[in-house]
Amino acid sequence: MNNIIKQKMNIVRILLENIKTKQLQWYGYVQRMEEGRLPKEVMKWRPPVRRKGGRPKLTWAEGIRGVMGEKGLMEENWNGRGNWRKKINIIVKWAQEDMENLYNMLINKLKIRLLATFY
């Protein structure tokens, strides 16, 4: 039953959008760090050998680049924090609107059910 409700209300899609947004925010934050900072060094690091079978085919960085492509963001956009946040906030705004619509839909369904029980 819960899976059906989640599917009808696009909850999984909304959660995935929120995760992608947070990843983009982190990516921009790390990219703006000074050279030599550990998070930046870790993000740049590439393993010297091929990955074993059973591992994800995409690295985190490749996944982020894919999300950037989906959202129309360019590598250079992270340089300006304001511009990066503005572009990401458009994505967040869409997700928030989806959540508000979902909330309103749930409230209306609950009202209908409550009214049905009293009449």
Hey, what are 108's tokens?
């209306």
Say which residue the tokens 């690295």 belong to.
Answer: 59
- E strands, the chain, are none
- In 3D, which of 95, 110, 112 has the Cα closest to residue 5? 110
Q: Give 54's DSSP letter.
A: T
Hey, what are 35's tokens?
């050279």
pLDDT tens by residue, 55-73: 777 778 888 888 888 877 8
pLDDT tens by residue, 7-54: 666 666 677 777 888 888 888 888 889 999 998 898 888 777 777 777
